[in-house]
Structure 1
Amino acid sequence: MKTIATLTMNPAIDVAYEADRVFHTHKIRARQERYVPGGGGINVSRVIARLGGCARAHYMAGGATGETFDRLLDIHQMVRSRIPIAGNTRISTAVFERESGKEYRFVPTGPSVSQPEWEACLAHLAEIECDILVASGSLPPGVPDDFYSRVRRLVAPRGTGFVLDSSGAALRCAAADGGILLLKPSLGELQHLVGEPLEALDDIAAAASHIVRRGQATYVAVTMGHQGALLAQASGYLHLPAVPVTAMSTVGAGDSFLAAMTFALACERDPVDAFRYGMAAGAAAVLSPGTDLCRLEDVERMFQLVPQGEQCPCPPSVGIPHVDVVGDGS
């Protein structure tokens, strides 16, 4: 099995509660209180461990909440490497309202990171050894938009495959730079990347395939919520419908998908099979309310429900006039 590491630039202590009803002004009595270490790459490492693998988590953390974050990682017995910063690690909150079945999420921007701190992170990453590096999550304030591009260029000479799940300017810069092994945008993130609504499946497939065709990513896996997911690669694209489950929470579904697909690729499984395994993990993650992630027994059960599907030829990039905003891959 190939070795995996993860990078989380903006981790969070994820707090989850349940309440009968959420309303303003009055004190709301909550229960089922949970605290877990979170953030894109952290979640990916946690899921890979649940699936039977190991992914060392590299992350930036600081302040009093950073110390608490470290202790939470140790409780989960995670293999970790911390890059210290001065600012306090953020705390994200999810409240599940039992009366309506709705979930309310409060996500801070995160601490500001200085130039010496993010440069220290690059220096740290220059020393790591792994076959696959998964960078997942937002960049905190102060970190340049092209940071993930810098990370990919840093590890590429060692033959490390770079996997990315991010959004906004960080995603745009990394996609423009190219050379990504697996790019996992949500449908909304892909729409923002290409500057088009992408309402038809053919348009989604064309946009994802265009990124592959230009050498910007070997695989593009687009998660589409209740519409399922789409995988584009050089040999064609595959769209599969969502596994029919009752969603209790969407927290961690994308991270679970990415972790399972990356884990399967690291185990040398076929890309389509790895994609289906990712879909199974994403479906398994929504079975529980709050901040919990997928569990192995649920993933294996969901995997039996993911259809095989049939790959289609990559469509031409017609009807996507602004897809070139992702750059030329040079």
Structure 2
Amino acid sequence: MRQILTLTVNPALDVSTSTDRVVSGHKLRCGPSRLDPGGGGMNVSRVVQRLGGQALAIYSAGGPTGEAYRRLIEAEHIPTLVVPIAGSTRQDITVDETATGKQFRFVLQGPELDELEWRSCLALVAESIPKGGYVVASGSLPPGVPEDFYARVARLTREHDARCIVDASGPALAEALAEGVFLIKPSRRELGEFLGTTLDSDQSQVEAASSLVARGSTEFVALTLGGAGAVLASEAGVMRLQVPQVRVQSTVGAGDSFLGAFVLRLAQGHDAATAFRAAVAAGTATAMTPATELCHRDDVERLEAELTASAG
């Protein structure tokens, strides 16, 4: 199995709870709360481990929330390398409105990193890149980190004969694509904003994903479409998968789970089609869980088998 390294430069301590209704001007009495160590790259590492693999996770952490974050990661026995920062690790808040079934997500921007701190992240990545393996750079960039940060990660990854996977949006995604990467995993909204269009039709989605492959910006585009499934574009062509019909409880972490399963199956030596089915299964399995909980292995393997059977 090829090795996997994940990078989370802007992790978040995910706080989730529920209340009857979200209204302004009142104290909102909430139900039980839950804490999870979130952030794109860390969630990828957590899903890889849940599915029987292992990924080394690099992340930054600081302050009281950073210490709480560390303890949660240690409890899951994820192998990690930590970059200490002066600021306090951010929190994200998810509130389920029980009266309506709506979900409200408050995503905080995170602490500002100074140049020494973000360069320390890059240096640790450079020291840890697995030769011939995969580097997953995922999540938002906090204040102070340059827009070409993921492009720099991609350059380091290529210099170490590894493959860089980027899950980002906005300028960070644009800079990474200008540098060239192995795979990106945008949502429909993220890719539409990058290309300046809405991607409302099946054809526009396929054309958008394929155009990035054709111009040499990336070898694979895994375009996630929520309840409408996903599209995988590469030089070999385009695949589309519908998501299995399940009872959706929360979509928090579904994209990260998709990516975690995808890179794990690739690292295990499976082809892209197999990895794509596993990814859709993992994203769907996470949507079946409440709040900020991630997928369960039994659910992923069951859904993966269903998708494999339908493909056959």
TM-score by length of 2: 0.96
Residue 200 (structure 1) aligns with:
201
CA–CA distance in structure 2, aligned partners of residues 199 and 97 of structure 1: 29
CA–CA distance in structure 2, aligned partners of residues 214 and 174 of structure 1: 14
Aligned length: 309
- 1:46 is displaced (CA, Å) by 0.5
CA contact (8 A) 1:134 1:164 kept: yes
CA contact (8 A) 1:238 1:309 kept: no
Name whichever of 259-268 and 240-249 sits farther off. Answer: 240-249
Residue 161 (structure 1) aligns with:
163
Residue 301 (structure 1) aligns with:
302
- 1:172 is displaced (CA, Å) by 0.8
CA–CA distance in structure 1, aligned partners of residues 22 and 290 of structure 2: 16
Matched, 1:147 2:149: yes
CA–CA distance in structure 2, aligned partners of residues 308 and 227 of structure 1: 19
CA–CA distance in structure 2, aligned partners of residues 18 and 203 of structure 1: 38
Residue 10 (structure 2) aligns with:
10
More helix by share: 2
Once the two structures are superposed, what CA deviation does each residue of 1:117-144 show, in whole Å capped at 9, x if it has no partner? 1112111111113211101100001111
| Aligned amino acid, residue 107 of structure 1 | V
What secondary structure, in the 3-state scheme, does the structure 2 residue paired with 1:305 have?
Answer: helix
Residue 286 (structure 2) aligns with:
285
| Aligned amino acid, residue 287 of structure 2 | V
What secondary structure, in the 3-state scheme, does the structure 2 residue paired with 1:304 have?
Answer: helix
CA–CA distance in structure 1, aligned partners of residues 308 and 11 of structure 2: 34
Supply the RMSD in Å over aligned alpha carbons: 1.4
What secondary structure, in the 3-state scheme, does the structure 2 residue paired with 1:251 have?
Answer: coil
Matched, 1:236 2:244: no
Residue 122 (structure 2) aligns with:
122
Once the two structures are superposed, what CA deviation does each residue of 1:16-44 show, in whole Å capped at 9, x if it has no partner? 11223322333222223111100000100
Once the two structures are superposed, what CA deviation does each residue of 1:243-282 show, in whole Å capped at 9, x if it has no partner? 2122111100000000001101111111011001100000
Task: Map 1:1-330 onto structure 2 (within 5 A).
Answer: 1-130=1-130, 131-178=133-180, 180-306=181-307
| Aligned amino acid, residue 64 of structure 2 | A
| Aligned amino acid, residue 61 of structure 1 | A
Q: Mind listing any 5+ residue stretches in structure 1 that lack a counterpart?
A: 311-330
| Aligned amino acid, residue 47 of structure 2 | V
- 1:242 is displaced (CA, Å) by 2.0
Name whichever of 218-227 and 298-307 sits farther off. Answer: 298-307
CA contact (8 A) 1:46 1:78 kept: yes
CA contact (8 A) 1:135 1:163 kept: yes
CA–CA distance in structure 1, aligned partners of residues 290 and 24 of structure 2: 22
What secondary structure, in the 3-state scheme, does the structure 1 residue paired with 2:127 have?
Answer: coil
- 1:307 is displaced (CA, Å) by 6.0
- 1:309 is displaced (CA, Å) by 7.5
TM-score by length of 1: 0.91
| Aligned amino acid, residue 143 of structure 1 | V
Once the two structures are superposed, what CA deviation does each residue of 1:261-319 show, in whole Å capped at 9, x if it has no partner? 11011111110110011000000001122100111011012113326788xxxxxxxxx
Once the two structures are superposed, what CA deviation does each residue of 1:204-240 show, in whole Å capped at 9, x if it has no partner? 1111111112221111100001111000010100111
CA–CA distance in structure 1, aligned partners of residues 308 and 123 of structure 2: 44
CA–CA distance in structure 1, aligned partners of residues 16 and 196 of structure 2: 34
CA–CA distance in structure 1, aligned partners of residues 184 and 163 of structure 2: 11
CA contact (8 A) 1:240 1:309 kept: no
